[in-house]
Amino acid sequence: MVEALRSIFGKKKKPKTQTEEELLAEAFAAVKRDQERKARVRRRKYRRWWPEWLDRRVAIGLAIVLFAIIADGVRREDQEFYATVTKVYGRVYVQSSPDAAGKPLEVGARLADRNVVQTDSGSSVVLEFPDGSVITVAPESRLVVKMIEYSRGGTWRGRSFLLNVGQVWARVSPRFGKDSEMRVYTPSSVAAVRGTTFSVYQPSATGSSSIQCAAGMISAIGFRGAPVIVPANTVATVPLGGPPGRLLSLTPNQWGSFNQMDLTKPIPPEYWLKTFELTITQLLDAPLTILGIGKCSWGVGSADFARRAATLEGLRLLHQHLEGDITYPQYVNPATLEQLNIPYEHAQRILSVFHGDALELYRPLADGRGFIIFVRSRDKGRTPYKLTTYGPQRAQEGEINRYWYY
């Protein structure tokens, strides 16, 4: 009885002293309980949007598939910067630059910016592009690949060529893109096309050029005066330093020259996987550009602002060459700048940062003591800029159209 009352009202027994091993075990158990509690909270938090079937292995598999799609999309983009040689007849040579030695051109070769194609008498070559466009270079011709460009974010293509002498036929594919443009420069004219079949003939380095249209329409541009629209089955002759002449119908020989298998064969439909991959890379344009992945990016850290800055720097260099001149030429070849007496290497360096590797427009002012030059940047929006005796500045679209008739 006494022991029972003592156990009820007496002092409590002192707890048993724990060993170090027991204290550590208890601490580890508390940490484990805390981690399990946090894991339960995370599961409840993400259960709303994270599917139960999407475990780690599935997520890794999807990441691998996405990486493969992006990598293949970048590969397809890089192909847009080349023309592939599909047929060679006779002796055809290629130069890596206008000053380099010529080498025999073979089927399967890829032509890039600054490459020069030279065909001998009785020789020709066929070039194809990923969108299905085709160019045939006639015998005794010299064609310079000025710029082949693809804008990932803008989804447009830009292609410009310089035909020093000879003739080319081309069919621009409907898949070329509604905002895309191809230009063929000659010593006396510019042919600007989108989706059409056409030919440009330059019989000599100083003579007139003939711009022929078989389907669609072309814009024939002289170094002076306003452009002329050349519809199907017509031809325009553009003299050196003058505006395009009146339109004439194609002769039977001119029309028959378009009956080439490569210009008339069906264009296969676009492969759905390519369309899907290029759509993905377009959506990822910003991170791919910042990381410098693919030829569309130019380089690490480059973006639209860098391309616009390069355009302004090119105009400043051009302004330095023109400073101090009292009078200015009545016309300038936008693809070569030869009338400005700028050394060839300097001219190429200046033009390389402009869209199309060329000027958009040159006009001397009425008093003969000034000029205005329009160019476009190589950014997604092809932003217009102008250069006057006061220096470079941004331009408005309407200004370019107004000066065509100046």
Residue 217, domain CATH? 2.60.120.1440
Among 252, 272, 292, which residue terminates a domain? Answer: 272
Q: Which of 308, 310, 332, 315 is nearest to 389 (CA)?
A: 315
Residue entry with tokens 């030869």 = 338
- pLDDT at residue number 73: 93
Task: Judge whether 51 lies within some domain.
Answer: no
- Does residue 128 share a domain with residue 258? yes
- The percentage of the chain sitting over the pLDDT mark of 90, rounded to a whole number, equals 62
Mark whether 332 and 373 lie in a shared domain. yes
With a cut of 60, say whether residue 10 has pLDDT above it.
no
Q: Does some domain include residue 199?
A: yes
> Does the residue 28 lie in any domain?
no
Residues 265, 307 share a domain: no
Are both 256 and 329 inside the same structural domain?
A: no
| Cα–Cα distance, 194 to 176 (Å, whole number) | 7
Classify burial at 152, counting beta carbons within 10 Å of its beta carbon; exposed 0-12, middle 13-18, buried 19 or more: buried
Q: Determine the pLDDT at residue 51.
A: 60
Total tally of structural domains belonging to the chain: 2
Q: Give, in order, the Cα–Cα distances in Å from 294 to each of 129, 290, 350, 396.
A: 18, 11, 24, 31
User: Are residue 159 and residue 259 in the same domain, yes or no?
Assistant: yes
Euclidean distance between CA atoms 110 and 383, whole angstroms: 30
Instruction: Assess whether 257 and 309 both reside in one domain.
Output: no
Strands annotated E in 22-174: 83-89, 92-95, 103-104, 110-111, 116-119, 124-128, 134-137, 142-151, 156-171
Is residue 248 one of the residues assigned to a domain? yes
One domain, residues 322 and 192: no
Pick the last residue of a domain from 272, 292, 318.
Answer: 272
> Are residue 239 and residue 364 in the same domain, yes or no?
no
Identify the domain containing residue 162 by its residue range.
75-272
Q: How far apart are CA 401 and CA 226, in angstroms?
A: 9
Residue 3, in any domain of the structure? no
User: 27-36, 98-107, 391-400: which range is least confident on average?
Assistant: 27-36
Is 224 found in the same domain as 136?
A: yes
How many whole angstroms from its chain centre is CA 169?
22
- State yes or no: pLDDT of 4 exceeds 60: no
Same domain, 250 and 346: no
Residues 239 and 378 grouped into a single domain:
no
- Where is the domain boundary, 250, 272, 294? 272
Q: What is the pLDDT of residues 111-125, one digit of tens each?
A: 999 999 999 999 999
Average pLDDT estimate for 162-174: 96
The verdict on 170 and 244 lying in the same domain is yes
pLDDT over threshold 90, residue 192:
yes
Q: How do 248-249 and 234-238 pair as beta strands?
A: antiparallel
Instruction: Choose between 11 and 139: higher pLDDT.
Output: 139
pLDDT digits (tens, 9 = 90+) for 245-277: 999 999 999 999 999 999 999 888 888 899 999
The chain-wide mean pLDDT, for the chain, equals 88
CB 162 within 8 A of CB 144: yes
Please check the confidence at residue 12 and state whether its pLDDT lies above 80: no
Strand 156-171 vs strand 181-185: parallel, antiparallel, or unpaired? parallel
Distance (Å, whole) CA 48 – CA 113:
52
